[in-house]
Structure 1
C-alpha cells in the first residue's frame, strides 16, 4: 500500500504541473507527500552540466533553498493534501549522490520528465542513485503522464531478482483487478515459445492477486529492448511500464547502454523501476 510519497524537483516553476499532480495523488490515496527541493550552485550552461557548475558559498545556497521551500509551501498550501516541503542544498555532485539515500523515507519516489528540470543531468544521475541506493521503487513520469489510477499496466520480464522486485512493487501501485501485460522481448519469432514459458509463473501470481494478466512475446526486430517494450506499451494503451533496474552493472549500462538507462533518459509513459 502506497501512503508515503516523495517528489524530487530542482525548479519549482518548471515542476508546477507535477507538484499539483502529486498533491492530487496524495489526496486520493489519503497519504502524505514530501516535496524535496534540490538547490545547487549556479550553472553557466545547464546543458553542459556538470562541467559548467560554479562554486557558491554554503550560506548563499541555504538562503536560495529557503526561498524555494517558501515558494513551494505557498503553492501547495490550499491543495487539500497532507504535504510537507523540505530542501537539500549542496554542490551538484553531492546532490546527485545523496538524494534518495539520505533524508526522507517513502514508499514511492517520483521524478518528473527532463523538461520539468532545470538541469537534466542532475535528474538522470538522481534517478540512477535512487534506483541503486534507496531501496525504494522509482516512478519516472513522461511529459504526458498523469497520476490517474492505473487500469492497464505491463511488466517487462526477464527472470531476475530485479524483475521479481518490480513485480511486487507493481502489485502495490495499480488498481485492483487491473489488466497486466507480462512482456518478454526476443530476437525473433523463434524465441517466442521459451519467452512465453518463462512468464507462466508471473501470470499465475498476478491472477492469484485478482489481476487480468496475460503473457506476450515481442520480437525486437532490430530495436533495443527498451524501444520494443515502450512500443508495445504505446500500441496497446498501457498506462504504466514496470521493469527491474540495472540487471547489468551501472557502469556497463552507462558505457554500452541498456534498458534501465534508456527508460530513465526517455520515458514515453510512466515507468516504475525497482531493484
Structure 2
C-alpha cells in the first residue's frame, strides 16, 4: 500500500505537467505527496551540464527556489491530498548526488520523463542516484500522465536480488486481481535456465498475493532485450513495466549499456525500477 509519495522535479516550468500527474496519483491513493524541487546553478548550455555552470550567489538561488516553492504550493492548494513542497539547491553535480536522498522518507519516488526536465543530464543522474542509494522504488511516468490503477503489469524477470525486490514493489502497486506477466527474455542457450525456473516461483508467489500471474518467455533476433521487453509491454497495453534495476554495476552499464539505462533514456510507458 502506497501512502507516502516523493516527487522529484527540476526548478523549471517543464515540471508543471508531472506535478499535476503526481497530485492526481496522490489523490487516488489517498497518499501524502512531498514535492522536492531541485534548483541548480544556472547553466550556459543545459545540454552540456554539469560543465557549463555559472556562479550565482546563494542568496539569489534561495530567492529563485522560494519563488518556485511558493508558485507550486499555490498551484496545488486546491487538492484533496496532503501536499508539502521542499527545496534543494546546489550546483548540478551536487544536486544529482543529493536528489531524493536529502531527508524525505517515502514508499515511492516519482519522476517525469524527458519532457518534464530542462536539464537532461540532471534527470539521468538524479534517477540513477535514487535507484542506487535511496532504498525506495522509483516510478518514471511517461508523458506526464498519472499512473492509472495497475490492472495489467509486466515484470521483466532475470533472477537477482534487484528483480526479487521488484516483485514486492510491483505487488504493492497492483490492484487486487490484476494481471501480471512475468517475462523472461532470451533463449535457453543464454544461460537463463535458473531465471526460467525461478520465474515459476514468482508466478506462484504472486498468485498467493491474489494476482493473476503467468509466465512468458519471449525472444526477438531483430531487437535487443530492452526493446523486446518494452515492445511486449506496449503490445499488452500494460499499465506498468517493472524491473530490477542495475543488476550489473552502474559503471558497466555506462560503459557497455544495459536494460536499465536503455529504458531510462526514453520512457514510453510507466516504469518501476527497484533495487
TM-score > 0.5, shorter chain as reference:
yes
Q: Conserved in 2, the CA contact under 8 Å of 1:3 and 1:107?
A: yes
Match of 1:181 in 2: 181
Deviation per CA, 1:50-91: give whole Å up to 9, x if none.
Answer: 222212111111111101100100100112221000100011
Q: Conserved in 2, the CA contact under 8 Å of 1:12 and 1:72?
A: no
Q: Distance in 2 between matches of 1:216 and 1:232?
A: 10
Residues 1:125 and 2:100 are matched in the alignment? no
SS in 1 for 2:14: coil
Deviation at 1:32, TM superposition (A): 0.3
Match of 1:231 in 2: 231
Deviation at 1:222, TM superposition (A): 3.7
Q: Conserved in 1, the CA contact under 8 Å of 2:149 and 2:175?
A: yes
Deviation at 1:191, TM superposition (A): 6.2
Match of 1:106 in 2: 106
Residues 1:166 and 2:162 are matched in the alignment? no
Deviation at 1:189, TM superposition (A): 7.0
**Structure 1 residues not aligned, in runs of 5+:** none
Deviation per CA, 1:215-265: give whole Å up to 9, x if none.
Answer: 001113142221111000011111101100111001000111001111111
Deviation per CA, 1:16-66: give whole Å up to 9, x if none.
Answer: 222112112111211100011110111111122122221211111111110
Deviation at 1:192, TM superposition (A): 11
Q: Conserved in 2, the CA contact under 8 Å of 1:42 and 1:56?
A: yes
Residues 1:267 and 2:263 are matched in the alignment? no
Q: Conserved in 1, the CA contact under 8 Å of 2:43 and 2:52?
A: yes
Q: Distance in 2 between matches of 1:145 and 1:225?
A: 26
Match of 2:147 in 1: 147
Q: Distance in 2 between matches of 1:156 and 1:37?
A: 31
Structural mapping, 1:51-130, within 5 Å: 51-130=51-130
Q: Distance in 2 between matches of 1:191 and 1:217?
A: 12
Match of 2:212 in 1: 212
- TM-score under structure 1 length normalisation: 0.95
Q: Conserved in 1, the CA contact under 8 Å of 2:112 and 2:144?
A: no
Match of 2:17 in 1: 17
Q: Conserved in 1, the CA contact under 8 Å of 2:116 and 2:144?
A: no
Q: Distance in 2 between matches of 1:206 and 1:36?
A: 33
Over the aligned positions, Cα root-mean-square deviation in angstroms equals: 1.6
SS in 2 for 1:148: coil
Q: Distance in 1 between matches of 2:33 and 2:73?
A: 12
Deviation at 1:196, TM superposition (A): 4.1
Deviation at 1:158, TM superposition (A): 0.5
Q: Conserved in 1, the CA contact under 8 Å of 2:18 and 2:145?
A: no
